[in-house]
Structures are given as structure tokens and as C-alpha cells.
Amino acid sequence: MSHYTRWLERLIIGLLLLTIFNVFLDVLLRYAFNNSSIALQEMEWHLFSAMFLLGISYTLQKDAHVRVDIFYTKFSPQKQALINLIGFALCILPISLLVAYYGIDFAYSAYLINEQSGDPGGLTHRFIIKSIIPISFILIIISGILFAKNNYEVLKQ
């Protein structure tokens, strides 16, 4: 397992643990102390979103993404590698480049206007979660390049 894959794995596990702690704290405050926090509730979906978005590149790196296995598993490793390379070039790379490119402006705009939650007591600095979008797609590009490299090696055999 590469350093990159281990780093992604640790990041996602850290986000999962933070999410579990956040939900536990929210439930404890709500049911034990009859108190609720909008910020904690918003943090739940922020952490879940970050975990999901960053998990895409990890899943690609581990070759555990969803595909139509009914046909794919019957193909030779070289044919599977060719399909993976075509899928990377035609789907993963162009979409990731577009989302990363426009996501940077999306997050920067939120930073410039100091966007924050519309709910009283909600989270400030909404640009942080919006920044996860282009970051995650840049990581998808990196994972995709590594994935394509591995598939190219299989194709050369």
C-alpha cells in the first residue's frame, strides 16, 4: 500500500471518528440535557460530506468502486485494464477537472463573502466545507492517475 493510500485511509478514519464523536455529543446534549446545538447538527453533515467526498479517491485507489461486474469479471485482465483506462480518460478525468476547476471558484466566493449558516447558532466559515469539493476532485485526479498507471502496467504484460 502506497503512502498516498495510507494517508487517505487515515484521513477518512479520522473523519469517521470525529463524526461518531460529534453524533454522540449531539445525542447526549439533546436527550440527557435537553439541549440542542445547530452547530453540532451542521457539523454532522459537514463531516459526513467530507468523509464521502474524500472517500471517492480512496475507493478508486483501492479499485473498489462500483461498476457493472456482470460483464467486467468475465474479461481478461488486459481487457479489464483497457476498460479502466478508457473509463479514466473519458469519464473520471474530464469530470474531475471540471468540478475541481469550478469548485475552486465556488469555495473562494464563499470565502470572499464570508458565507455562513443561515440558521442562528450555525457554523461560520462555510468556505471550509466548500473547499473540500475541489480538494476531493484533485485527489480523485491523483488517484485516477495512479489507477491508470497500474492498469497501463497490466496492459503492457
Instruction: Dump pLDDT digits (tens) for 98-144.
Output: 999 999 999 999 999 999 988 888 889 999 999 999 999 999 999 99
Residue 127: per-residue pLDDT = 94
| C-alpha cell at position 122 | 450555525
Q: Which of 12, 89, 22, 10 is nearest to 56 (CA)?
A: 12
Give me the amino acid identity at 126: R
Which residue is it, cell 463531516? 47
Instruction: Dump pLDDT digits (tens) for 41-67.
Output: 999 999 999 999 999 999 988 877 777
Q: Which of 68, 99, 101, 103 is nearest to 84 (CA)?
A: 68
Query: Cα separation of 144 and 148, whole Å?
Result: 6
pTM comes to 0.87
Length of the chain: 157
